[in-house]
């Protein structure tokens, strides 16, 4: 219809969907909850590739992040698994950064403190963050235009704007610009949020571990538009020399990039501003901690709209096409 293009089909037309050998869904959890079980109940034996979190922990699903778990994905295909799901964005980015340590069997446990961008919550939240920036900037404009005014006066005006009733907070519920939100998603067991729960659950499912590796931490939303950052504390099973650890991390996959633990490269390469739109996953601030030689700390950043969403699914489609001989 128009410009020689065919009209879009109805994504809820089960008869139309079950004619496809492969269905790729990026429509969210509500769509998956509605459509996926109906398709399976009708006897559809096609491949379902999904970006939503709904099916991630189901027994019939494989989490796909092939630079990390190609062996698990290929085993799933050989075993006849039909459902493949993209994992959580922070989990994906953590594993892209440090999978070399997991493969080497060096990881006893990990604590990940995340600093997650507004875009991880959706488009409306990105718009709200920028709107909050604008409103705060407008409130502060008279102070900024008067060099005689002090920084304390500027801070006072900004704080009043953040706490005032007029700041736009429909999406987040609270200010994010000039602040942060130390809570993502709903509460689950043991005081964790659901976002924090995914760290251990999805990491171990992605890796296909026999004995679960403990992963925990705190997930916070910060005022960047794009890219999630993580501060990692890793308890190693052995006191491995730092240069050896760095080499293992660097060899994890083609996209991880070790940034030297020096100020200039850290400021230049290890920020959302530097990484946004790139598939590179830099990791830096790598050092042994004062707690002992078997404690490692690092900081990593990655574009969660790529490795945390689109890229694993895009690559899974190619893997499946090869598997099917297309």
DSSP states of 29-90 as a string?
Answer: HHHHHHHHHHHHHTT--SEEEE-SSTTTTSTTEEE--HHHHHHHHHHHHHTT--EEE---HH
Sheet of 47-50: strand order equals 22-25, 47-50, 83-85, 61-63
Contact 85, 59 (CB under 8 A): no
Query: Hey, which residues are catalytic here?
Result: 89, 228
For 306, which DSSP code? I
Count of Cβ atoms closer than 10 Å to residue 135 Cβ: 18
Give the three-class secondary structure for 20: coil
DSSP states of 141-190 as a string?
Answer: HHHHT-TTS-HHHHHHHHHHHHHSTTS--TTTSS--TTSEES--S-B-GG
């Amino acid at each position: 219809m128009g410009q020689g293009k065919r009209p879009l089909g109805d994504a809820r037309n089960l008869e139309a969907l079950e004619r496809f050998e492969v269905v790729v869904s990026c429509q969210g959890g509500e769509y998956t909850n509605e459509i996926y079980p109906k398709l399976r109940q009708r006897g559809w034996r096609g491949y379902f590739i999904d970006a939503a979190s709904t099916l991630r922990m189901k027994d019939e699903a494989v989490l796909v992040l092939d630079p990390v778990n190609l062996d698990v994905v290929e085993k799933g295909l050989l075993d006849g698994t039909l459902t493949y799901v993209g994992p959580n964005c922070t989990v994906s980015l953590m594993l892209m950064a440090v999978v070399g340590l997991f493969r080497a069997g060096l990881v006893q446990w990990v604590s990940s403190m995340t600093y997650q961008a507004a875009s991880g919550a959706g488009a409306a939240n990105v718009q709200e963050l920028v709107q909050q920036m604008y409103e705060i900037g407008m409130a502060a404009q008279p102070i900024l235009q008067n060099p005689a005014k002090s920084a304390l006066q500027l801070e006072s005006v900004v704080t009043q704007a953040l706490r005032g009733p007029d700041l736009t907070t429909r999406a987040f519920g609270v200010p994010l610009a000039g602040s942060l939100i130390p809570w993502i998603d709903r509460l689950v067991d043991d005081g964790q949020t659901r976002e924090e729960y995914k760290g251990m659950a999805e990491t171990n499912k992605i890796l296909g571990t026999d004995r679960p590796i403990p992963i925990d931490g705190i997930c916070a939303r910060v005022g960047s538009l794009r890219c999630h950052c993580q501060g990692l504390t890793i308890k190693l099973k052995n006191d491995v020399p730092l240069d050896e650890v760095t080499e293992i991390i660097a060899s994890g996959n083609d996209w991880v990039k070790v940034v030297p633990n020096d100020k200039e490269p850290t400021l230049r390469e290890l920020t959302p501003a530097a990484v946004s739109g790139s598939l590179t996953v830099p990791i830096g601030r790598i050092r042994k901690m004062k707690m002992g030689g078997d404690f490692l700390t690092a900081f990593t950043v990655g574009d969660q709209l790529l490795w945390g969403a689109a890229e694993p699914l895009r690559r899974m489609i190619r893997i499946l096409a090869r598997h099917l001989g297309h």
